[in-house]
Amino acid sequence: MRKLIALVAIALSAVMFSTSSQAFGSSSGKFFDANTKQWVKYGHARSGKSPIQRKMISYNGKYSPGTIVISTAERRLYHIRPGGKAMVYGIGVGREGFQWSGTHRITRKAEWPGWTPPAVMRAREARKGNILPAYMEGGPNNPLGARALYIGSTIYRIHGSNEPWTIGSAVSSGCIRLANEDVIHLYQNVPVGARVVVLR
């Protein structure tokens, strides 16, 4: 009888753990897309927000208003504003071996962009046994998230993410990622032609 009770307790514990794990893994955040006036659901995001909250700070540096300054070491993006201010966003950056620096311009902007993985990325992932699509339509489950700002003629972008909990980490293949709600905010304030300075 004691054995039977113990087995039932173990089984109930396993079911409870499985149920709570599934609930945790499938819970989804939402954010309000001001352009479409709709609430948009993240795929399987544990939280819709970046763990690093955006904020306005005082700024007296050398960069002029309108410039985007990205510090990969700090994991921060600074959008320099007039009047000695800057809006700061938390970002995810390139992992070891994929970080870079330079000065460019924003050459294009896109809402809910489609994703065409570069050939070099597809080949690299194929060697690991991961097959990437040649193209993926834009949407909440797309790795580029809600918005993308294309950097010069590089393969890199400043883009959203359906994995906001990764903000603050070095996880990408060189792109700069923000939580979707933050990239929408940045997108609304940055024109094509804006200067981008990436610092390591």
* pLDDT for the residue 106: 98
**What's the one-letter identity of residue 111?**
E
pLDDT in the model for residue 72:
95
- pLDDT at residue 132 in the model: 86
Indicate the domain borders of the chain: 2-41, 55-199
- From the list 44, 79, 104, 159, the catalytic residue is 159
Position 39 scores a pLDDT of: 53
Residue 58's pLDDT is 96
Select which of 44, 104, 175, 185 is catalytic.
175
Three-state secondary structure along 32-65?
A: EECCCCEEEECCCCCCCCCCCCCEEEECCCCCCC
CATH 2.40.440.10 fits 55-199, yes or no: yes
| Chunked mean pLDDT (size 10), the chain, 200 residues | 38 30 31 48 51 94 97 96 97 92 97 89 88 88 94 95 92 94 97 97
* CA 82 – CA 192 distance, rounded (Å): 18
Q: Please name the residue ranges forming H helices in the chain.
A: 2-26, 119-127, 180-189
Instruction: Tell me whether residue 175 is one of the annotated catalytic residues.
Output: yes
- Known active-site residue 44: no
Q: What is the H or E stretch that residue 103 is in? A: strand 102-111
Residues with Cβ within 8 Å of 34's Cβ and at least 6 positions away in sequence, in order, are 184, 188
